[in-house]
Structure formats: structure tokens, C-alpha cells
Amino acid sequence: MRIISVNKLREYWEIHPDTRIPLSEWYIKVGKAKWKSFSDMRKDFGSVDFVGGQRYVFNIKGNAHRLVVAVKFTPQLVYIRFVGTHNEYDRIDIKTI
């Protein structure tokens, strides 16, 4: 998968250094993936959730942080839409990101 907007991850882990390793591991694993469907994602990340509109939520660092991405399976693209704390995630409108 090709990941778009990786700078969002870097900016986030500079503010939240405890997320650097989990986000780096997520990035490496997704970069090697060849997902064709949500079930393929679930094989790599058992806790990923589909939230509509081609968007998926990953729990980072024991669910203290959330990562929302849009996935286009056919062109093998992952767009980072949001990375934040669990509390920040609860305050966003998922349809607008």
C-alpha cells in the first residue's frame, strides 16, 4: 500500500513521543501490505474498524490514540485523515475528515 500524508504521523509523534514506535510499526506494516479488502486489513490489524465512507480506524498504543485513514483498495492507496488522542477522536465528525 502507498501511504499518503505520512508527515501527519511524524508531526503527531513529535507532540506525543510515546506514539513514535507504534506509528512507525503501523507505517512499515501497511507499506508492505497488499490489501484487497477489509478482511485483508483485519488479518494484519484485528482491531481495525470500518466507520463508513472508505474510512477505517486503527487503535494506537492500547487505544489511547486513534488513526483514521481512507483506503482505496484498487489503486493500493492509504490516505491518513486524522491522528489524535482517543478523546480528540470522540469530538470529531468522522464524515468531515
Q: What is the DSSP string of 29-94?
A: HHHH----SHHHHHHH-TT-EEEETTEEEEEETTTTEEEEEEEETTTTEEEEEEEEEHHHHHHS-G
Instruction: Tell me the domains of the chain and their CATH numbers.
Output: 2-96 (3.30.2310.20)
Residues 11 and 47: their CA atoms lie apart, in Å, by 24
Give the whole-number percent of the chain exceeding pLDDT 90: 84
Which letter does DSSP use for residue 28 in this model? H
Dihedral sign, Cα of residue 5, residue 91, residue 58, residue 86: positive
- Tell me the average pLDDT of the chain: 94
Residue 80 carries which side chain, given as an amino acid letter? I
> Model confidence over 26-63: pLDDT tens digits?
999 999 999 999 999 999 999 999 999 999 999 999 88
- Residue-level pLDDT at 87: 86
Rounded mean pLDDT of 71-91? 93
Distance separating alpha carbons of residues 46 and 40, to the nearest angstrom: 10
